[in-house]
Amino acid sequence: MHYDDPHDPLVILRALPAQEHAFFLSQYRAKVDAAHEPAGYGELRDFLHAWSLAAHAMSEPGYAEALNEARTATSPGISLEEMTAMRHAGQ
């Protein structure tokens, strides 16, 4: 049985959109360089975990469309006060 480690940089790259590869790799190389010191290892591990989650989200169908919709939204959204009132009203 084969298991792809979601924190493996190659697995992350396969899941990421091509336009994200250069950015990921530049940050990854900096974290690897810092990980030569013992204190940097935790940062590398956390970095790979965060990118694993991001890559998974970006590979979901409709992600790009939802992101574009959120970026170009014309409605102001909902205020914290409105959300709190709705929650207390049981909505």
Rounded CA Rg of the chain: 19
Kindly report, residue by residue over 22-41, the tens digit of the pLDDT: 999 999 999 999 999 998 99
Domain extents in the chain: 9-88
Predicted TM-score of the model (pTM):
0.72
Q: Give the mean pLDDT of 59-75.
A: 85
14 or 64, higher pLDDT:
14
For residue 44, CA distances in Å to 12, 24, 40 come to: 14, 12, 6
Query: Distance between CA 84 and CA 90 in Å, rounded?
Result: 10
Query: Distance between CA 11 and CA 56 in Å, rounded?
Result: 10
pLDDT of 67: 87
Query: Distance between CA 57 and CA 63 in Å, rounded?
Result: 7
